[in-house]
Amino acid sequence: MNHLTVGQRAPLSNFAINDTAPITLKFTRQSPIEMDISCFALDAAGKLINDDYMVFYNQPTSPCGQIKLTHYESQPTANKGIQAEFEVNLSKLATNIDSLFFVLSADTPLNQIQSLEIGIWQQSQKAQAEYQAADFAQQQASMLMQLYRKSGVWRVSNVAQGFNGGLAAIVQHFGGDVEESSSTVEATTAPVQAKPSLEKVMLDKAPKLVNLAKKATISLEKRQLQQLTAKVALVLDASGSMNRQYKKGRVQEVVNRILPLAVSFDDDQALDCWAFARDPQYLGEIGLSNYDGFIDNAHGGWRKWALGPRINNEAEVMKAVTEFYQKDGLDVPIYVLFISDGGVNDNRGITRVMTEVAKLPIFWQFVGLGGRGYGILKKLDDMTGRVIDNCDFFELDDLDDISEEALYENMLEEFPLWLKEAKQLGIVTK
């Protein structure tokens, strides 16, 4: 039997689970307090399909009949016992159901629970997740486990992410209706002002980039990101093996191609830029007034950057980027484009940083450019121990080998999925 660690995510097939046949999730608890287990069926935007698709003790079957609460015990118990069993038939769910979230809630802090186990069964037990009192903080709700589609494949994620407020707060978070009460705080929402056209901004301020703006707009609209407010960062490998990429103008071209995303996302229409070798260096903001020739001009040009010996140290610049935005407030999501030509050797350090920063609203898009030896960067999807999959990787032999349209498609492929899940978990709040 497989044990699912917190933050682990994997295809169900990795556990010999056939997603075309029904599966059962059994929740076994030892708890002196009353607690509830609910299942939310969500669409691609992370919202409840409708209120009938919240499956719990008072509504034990979804309208489609493919999500069923087949067993439920509500009372506290001094001994271990099965509180809930859900039967799910993933292959027969409607295509607009993108994920199932299993949520724990109570009227008092969850850290009073002695133990909780989730078993995934299909004829026999295939996987298990275990939690103790120390795994639950003072929150009254926790998003425990998610079954979700990715590229047409059903996967499982052991999220175990605490959530402020109880069940009502989670229902509201997923877009469901909650009966009004005296404790409900009425929110006021200001009208959202549409952003100006990206093409128009570029035409006015950087006409050289208009064609790039048109191609970026297609990818942004396809993913409904054109109104997103976010910060954009660019991290550039400046180790010795990258010299050829700098001399041929490839790195400046990266600056040109990422800038339309920064102009679209960021209210300041600029991105923050770092370079790294052994040491990281913050190069400042890149905007529409200084992007042209930035690589050859910033801080005396790329040859003069204060990076120490021109060897790889990815983990150190990742820490620097994280600390920069932590000081800045982390009030909006952050998209980091991280360029490397390989030679990655500190797999353990990178893994540690990526695990620690997964709880922050920062998404890391790693791009391998004309190199090799990418190490852990090529195995990011299978990296365990994170509360969320917060990064992606793709590689290019040469920037000229890929069209600008295809480059934007690759750069934005995983970001919307992360954004949706991060909002579900409360990591991204805007």
- Which CATH number does the domain housing residue 28 bear? 2.60.60.30
Co-location of 246 and 339 in the same domain: yes
Q: What is the pLDDT of residue 178?
A: 56
Label the pairing between strands 2-3 and 124-132.
parallel
Q: What is the pLDDT of residue 12?
A: 94
Among 39-48, 72-81, 179-188, 379-388, the range scoring the smallest mean pLDDT is 179-188
Number of domains in the chain: 2
- Distance CA(86)–CA(12), nearest Å, equals 16
Three-state secondary-structure class, residue 374 = coil
Q: What is the pLDDT of residue 33?
A: 87
Do residues 88 and 23 lie in contact, with contact meaning Cβ atoms separated by under 8 Å? yes
Statement: residue 304 has pLDDT above 80:
yes
Residue bearing the bigger pLDDT, 346 or 302? 302
Co-location of 246 and 139 in the same domain: no
Region label for 385, one of left (φ > 0), alpha (ψ between -120 and 50) or beta (otherwise): left
DSSP 8-state class, residue 16: T
Handedness of CA 172, 177, 183, 187 (dihedral sign): positive
Encoded tokens for 352 = 């540690």
Query: Nearest 5°: CA angle at 43, between 37 and 47?
Result: 65
Confidence at 195, pLDDT banded by 50, 70, 90: low
- Distance CA(46)–CA(65), nearest Å, equals 21
Co-location of 273 and 219 in the same domain: yes
Q: Average pLDDT of 415-423?
A: 91
The domain boundary, picked from 113, 138, 173, lies at 173
Co-location of 165 and 207 in the same domain: no
Q: Average pLDDT of 343-347?
A: 79
Co-location of 258 and 168 in the same domain: no
- Distance CA(84)–CA(369), nearest Å, equals 49
**Per-residue pLDDT tens for 214-228?**
889 888 988 889 889
In a domain, 430, yes or no: no
- Distance CA(113)–CA(107), nearest Å, equals 12
Co-location of 53 and 150 in the same domain: yes
Co-location of 164 and 31 in the same domain: yes
Confidence at 194, pLDDT banded by 50, 70, 90: low
In a domain, 121, yes or no: yes
Confidence at 102, pLDDT banded by 50, 70, 90: very high
319 CB-near residues (< 8 Å, 6+ apart): 353
List Cα–Cα distances, 200 to 190, 203, 252, 298, in angstroms: 25, 5, 23, 27
Q: How far separated are the first and last CA of the chain, in Å rounded?
A: 39
Q: Average pLDDT of 257-262?
A: 94
Among 15-24, 85-94, 143-152, 253-262, the range scoring the smallest mean pLDDT is 143-152
Label the pairing between strands 99-105 and 36-42.
antiparallel
Q: What is the pLDDT of residue 381?
A: 65
In a domain, 181, yes or no: no
Q: How many residues does the chain have?
A: 430
183 CB-near residues (< 8 Å, 6+ apart): none
Instruction: State which of 44-48, 77-81, 260-264 shows the largest mean pLDDT.
Output: 260-264
Q: What is the pLDDT of residue 308?
A: 95
In a domain, 53, yes or no: yes
DSSP 205-229: H-GGGHHHHHHHHHHHHHTT-TT--
Co-location of 231 and 342 in the same domain: yes
Label the pairing between strands 153-163 and 231-237.
unpaired
Say what percent of the chain tops pLDDT 70. Answer: 95
Co-location of 372 and 409 in the same domain: yes
Q: What is the CATH number of the domain that holds 330?
A: 3.40.50.410
In a domain, 183, yes or no: no
Three-state secondary-structure class, residue 176 = coil
Q: What is the pLDDT of residue 188?
A: 32
Residue bearing the bigger pLDDT, 307 or 404? 307
In a domain, 407, yes or no: yes
Q: What is the pLDDT of residue 187?
A: 32
Co-location of 231 and 126 in the same domain: no
384 CB-near residues (< 8 Å, 6+ apart): 5, 7, 8, 9
Q: What is the pLDDT of residue 303?
A: 96
Confidence at 261, pLDDT banded by 50, 70, 90: very high
Residue bearing the bigger pLDDT, 169 or 156? 156
Among 19-23, 64-68, 105-109, 276-280, the range scoring the smallest mean pLDDT is 105-109
Statement: residue 169 has pLDDT above 80:
no
Co-location of 225 and 123 in the same domain: no
Q: What is the pLDDT of residue 299?
A: 96
Say what percent of the chain tops pLDDT 90. Answer: 51
Among 258-267, 281-290, 344-353, the range scoring the smallest mean pLDDT is 344-353
- Ordered strands of the 54-55 beta sheet: 9-11, 153-163, 141-150, 99-105, 36-42, 54-55
User: What range does the domain containing 401 cover?
Assistant: 198-424
Q: What is the pLDDT of residue 57?
A: 87
DSSP 8-state class, residue 59: B
Co-location of 142 and 41 in the same domain: yes
Residue bearing the bigger pLDDT, 336 or 193? 336
Nearest 10 degrees: Cα torsion 84, 85, 90, 93? -60
Label the pairing between strands 9-11 and 153-163.
antiparallel
- Distance CA(314)–CA(343), nearest Å, equals 10
Label the pairing between strands 362-372 and 334-342.
parallel
Q: What is the pLDDT of residue 177?
A: 66
Statement: residue 120 has pLDDT above 50:
yes
Statement: residue 255 has pLDDT above 90:
yes
Continuous H helices in 56-101? none
Label the pairing between strands 362-372 and 391-396.
parallel
List Cα–Cα distances, 54 to 36, 44, 47, 288, in angstroms: 12, 16, 11, 47
In a domain, 182, yes or no: no
Tell me the pLDDT of the chain averaged across its residues.
Answer: 87
Region label for 422, one of left (φ > 0), alpha (ψ between -120 and 50) or beta (otherwise): alpha
Statement: residue 84 has pLDDT above 90:
yes
Q: What is the pLDDT of residue 290?
A: 95
Nearest 10 degrees: Cα torsion 256, 258, 262, 268? -30
